Amino acid sequence: MNYLSTRGKTDPMSFMDAGLTGLAPDGGLLIPESLPDLSGDLDRLATLSYADLAFEVFSHFATDIPSEDLRGLVDRAYSTFRHPDTAPVVQVEDRYILELFHGPTLAFKDMAMQFLSQFFEYALEKRDQHLNILGSTSGDTGSAAIHGVRGKSRINIFMMHPKGRTSPVQALQMTSVLDANVYNLEIDGTFDDCQAIMKALFADVPFKEQYLLGAVNSVNWVRVMAQIVYYLYSGLKVMKDTGADQVQFSVPTGNFGNILAGYYAMKMGLPVSRFMLATNENDILARFFNTGIYESGSVAKTISPSMDIQVASNFERYLFALLDGDAARVREVMDTFAATGRVDLSDRLKHEAMKLFASASADTAKTLKAIKETNARADYLMDPHTAVGVVVGDELRNGDPLICLSTAHPAKFTDAIVDAIGEEPHHPVLDALKGAETRCEKLPADQEAVRDYLVQKLGG
What are the residue boundaries of the structural domains of the chain, listed by start? 89-106+222-427
Mean of per-residue pLDDT scores for the chain: 94
Instruction: Give the catalytic positions in this structure.
Output: 109
Q: pLDDT tens-digit profile of 389-446?
A: 999 999 999 999 999 999 999 999 999 999 999 999 999 999 999 899 999 999 999 9
pLDDT (average), residues 293-320: 86
Give pLDDT, residue 256: 87
pLDDT (average), residues 91-98: 98
CB 280 within 8 A of CB 361: yes
Name the β-bridge partners of 160.
Answer: 136, 185
Higher pLDDT, 175 or 203: 175
pLDDT (average), residues 30-35: 97
Judge whether residue 92 has pLDDT over 80. yes
Stretch (H or E) spanning 109: helix 109-127
Q: What pLDDT band is residue 369 in, cutting at 50, 70 and 90?
A: very high
Q: pLDDT tens-digit profile of 251-271?
A: 998 878 899 999 999 999 999
89-106+222-427, what's its fold? Rossmann fold (3.40.50)
Give the list of residues 6+ apart from residue 340 with CB closer than 8 angstroms, or none: none
Give pLDDT, residue 460: 60
Give pLDDT, residue 377: 97
pLDDT (average), residues 20-35: 93
Q: pLDDT tens-digit profile of 373-403?
A: 999 999 999 999 999 999 999 999 999 999 9
In one-letter notation, the amino acid at residue 157 is I
Q: How many residues does the chain have?
A: 460
Inter-CA distances, 92 with 272, 375, 381, 406, Å: 20, 10, 10, 12
User: Closest by alpha carbon to 48, among 234, 180, 193?
Assistant: 234
